[in-house]
Copies of this chain bind each other. A is one copy, B any other.
């Protein structure tokens, strides 16, 4: 019982009822960016606990802090040692976790901060991009069992030798979902600076709407296409362990977007969202000799150098026994890859190579596509209706992507969004 009235959580314990739920809340860098915002996080966590729940809070570093630390590291060494880089970067979350625990005390609650080595979040030893292997939930469960809010530093773990590791950018999402899985949480709330996942980028398409429920599979396709709301690996972990994820904002109480397993009702929606990605460049090998094995040579050599190729188009052979081979690679890989592509062009006797960075990949995503025919044809029609030429196409079970000239990005996104009825509830 609290002095101000009945504390639902204490009552549940007193009556030996299971608390209403075990909730994991993850707050990103913006949500803990100032002391005032940290106090806000503290009040929200306490309110959730007072509503009768057990609460685990995961925090990122205060916004700007990770960059400040990495800048220091790059002053100390041109190529900082990866192990030491992780030891420095992990302090950002250590500070915000302790500040959050302090703020919870200040606001009248009880809390305890826990670091990667204290929880025991075991990862592999791939410094700066480690993957979680196991999480021991005991310390967290003990902490909330004593009525405290457990505040866990996101983004960090330890390897088998006890070295500090970090999970790479956005890793705190993965920490949150993996902890939720490890302790059997009822929900994992991801607080961010947007209020949910949208049918498309609202900056491009004013009629974009917030999605209420989306499946893991759809979210994965949207995330990899640039929606940037949730870290891809966190969605993979959520899907694997079926953790319900609630993406929402810490600046209001409005519900956001639930990312969940497949539900019957979700299949009625044919297209869930429209995404675009400006991160790829098109490469065209001209008049490749039409010999057996030529294409295998091209993509075998690229794969051997770890170059990811996304879309591939091979034109019909011309009368002269030669064919153009077109594919896309990440723009960030292009400088590194150009010498290799020139070498490949000589091997397959291409008459030349053309590069095009002014392209965009526009995609529609939807679980309903699996059971609805004619979606691709409708997509091509909508683009053609705006006079947009399609340079390449790729499809998966729940996604269709088209490569187009980048100047058509906004036009294409709006045409597809409204053409598939996403502007209407």
Task: Tell me whether B83 and A95 are in contact (CB under 8 A).
Answer: no
A103 to B77, CA, bound (A): 6
Closest partner residue, chain B, to A87 (CB atom): B98
Number of interface residues of A (CB under 8 A): 38
Main secondary structure of the interface of A (DSSP, over half): helix
The answer to whether the Cβ of A357 comes within 8 Å of any Cβ in the partner chain is no
Task: Tell me whether A72 and B35 are in contact (CB under 8 A).
Answer: yes
Q: Which residues of B contact A81 (CB under 8 A)?
A: 101-102, 105
Task: Tell me whether A77 and B105 are in contact (CB under 8 A).
Answer: yes
Task: Tell me whether A76 and B102 are in contact (CB under 8 A).
Answer: yes
Task: Tell me whether B99 and A76 are in contact (CB under 8 A).
Answer: yes
Other-chain residue from B69, B84, B99, B113 in contact with A72 (beta carbon distance below 8 A): B99
Given the interface contacts A75-B35, A88-B95, does A102 sit within 8 Å of B80 by beta carbon? yes
Task: Tell me whether B76 and A103 are in contact (CB under 8 A).
Answer: yes
Closest partner residue, chain B, to A117 (CB atom): B117
CB distance from A143 to the nearest CB of B (A): 11
Other-chain residue from B76, B87, B106 in contact with A35 (beta carbon distance below 8 A): B76
Given the interface contacts A72-B35, A102-B81, A162-B118, does A113 sit within 8 Å of B95 by beta carbon? no
Copies in the complex: 2
Q: Which of A179-195 contact B (CB under 8 A)?
A: none
A396 to B87, CA, bound (A): 47
Closest partner residue, chain B, to A120 (CB atom): B162
Q: Which residues of B contact A73 (CB under 8 A)?
A: 98-99, 102
Q: Which residues of B contact A105 (CB under 8 A)?
A: 77, 80-81, 84
Q: Which residues of B contact A84 (CB under 8 A)?
A: 98-99, 101-102, 105, 113
The answer to whether the Cβ of A207 comes within 8 Å of any Cβ in the partner chain is no
The answer to whether the Cβ of A406 comes within 8 Å of any Cβ in the partner chain is no
The answer to whether the Cβ of A230 comes within 8 Å of any Cβ in the partner chain is no
Task: Tell me whether B77 and A95 are in contact (CB under 8 A).
Answer: no
Task: Tell me whether B95 and A69 are in contact (CB under 8 A).
Answer: yes
A97 to B83, CA, bound (A): 12
Given the interface contacts A88-B99, A95-B88, A112-B83, does A76 sit within 8 Å of B38 by beta carbon? yes
CB distance from A261 to the nearest CB of B (A): 36
A162 to B158, CA, bound (A): 14
Given the interface contacts A77-B106, A98-B84, A101-B81, does A117 sit within 8 Å of B72 by beta carbon? no
